[in-house]
């Protein structure tokens, strides 16, 4: 699958620069979630829900979805799009535990900032995320501890899991 990280100029040509940037943010967030298996194949992406979740207008969402369709990640229809069969991303190898921790923290921070994990929603189980990143559950917990300390994640007091807080990082403050 040849997924482009960015929308083409042709796809954003009818948008002003601000809305083109918004479309790019929606495109990147959805693309990452689909490729990493957070949004599995067959899921219906409803345009109105995406517009509300990303706080953008429906035209911005339509441009982002067309870019995903162009990359073969979704099939468009009148309500929005359905996720195509997409391979899950393999864990990224790291040279050191510190690099793994940094990668995990930054990835989860980006997912929060781009609203892949919506405010108040439950994240996937820790053992699922640890497996995705190729680390132990304990290593995953250490990696996301700064996000807990900053108030972006609310840890579980029972086996239910970790929840995204209502206070999420801003996209502009997360390095690319």
pLDDT tens digits, residue range 13-25? 778 889 988 988 8
97-173: CATH number: 1.10.10.10
What are the beta bridge partners of residue 45? 81
Provide the whole-model pTM: 0.50
Residue written as token pair 């929840």: 163
Helix-helix angle 17-35:97-113, to 10 degrees: 130
Segment 77-133, tens digit of pLDDT: 888 899 887 444 445 555 677 788 888 998 898 888 888 888 888 888 888 788 888
User: Bridge-partner residues for 76, per DSSP?
Assistant: 81
Q: Are the CB atoms for 64 and 103 separated by under 8 Å?
A: no
Averaged pLDDT, 65-85: 86
Q: What is the pLDDT of residue 174?
A: 52
pLDDT of residue 2: 37
First CA to last CA across the chain, in angstroms? Answer: 22
Which range has the top average pLDDT, 4-8, 64-68, 91-95, 97-101? 64-68
User: In sequence order, what are the residues at sequence separation of 6 or more whose Cβ sits closer than 8 angstroms to the Cβ of residue 16?
Assistant: none
Domain residue limits, the chain: 9-83, 97-173
Q: How far apart are CA 151 and CA 167, in angstroms?
A: 7
What mean pLDDT comes out for the span 130-152?
89
- Say whether pLDDT at 3 is over 80: no
Matching fold, domains 9-83 and 97-173: yes
pLDDT greater than 50 at residue 45: yes
Mean pLDDT, the chain, as a whole number?
A: 81
Strands 163-164 and 80-83: unpaired
Helix locations, the chain, DSSP H: 9-12, 17-35, 47-54, 58-70, 97-113, 126-133, 137-149
Give the CATH architecture of domain 9-83. Orthogonal Bundle (1.10)
């Amino acid at each position: 699958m040849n997924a482009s990280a960015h929308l083409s100029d042709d796809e954003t040509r009818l948008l002003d620069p601000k809305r083109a940037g918004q479309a790019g943010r929606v495109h990147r967030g959805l693309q990452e979630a689909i490729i990493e298996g957070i949004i599995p194949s067959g899921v219906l992406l409803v345009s109105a829900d995406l517009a509300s979740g990303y706080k953008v207008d429906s035209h911005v969402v339509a441009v982002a979805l067309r870019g995903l369709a162009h990359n073969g990640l979704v099939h468009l229809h009148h309500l929005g799009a359905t996720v195509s069969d997409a391979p899950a991303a393999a864990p990224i190898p790291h040279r050191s535990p510190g690099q793994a921790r940094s990668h995990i923290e930054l990835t989860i921070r980006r997912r929060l900032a781009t609203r892949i994990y919506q405010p108040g929603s439950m994240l996937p189980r820790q053992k699922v995320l640890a497996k995705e990143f190729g680390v132990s559950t304990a290593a995953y917990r250490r990696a996301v501890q700064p996000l807990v300390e900053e108030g972006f994640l609310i840890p579980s007091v029972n086996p239910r899991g970790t929840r995204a807080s209502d206070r999420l990082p801003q996209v502009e403050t997360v390095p690319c």
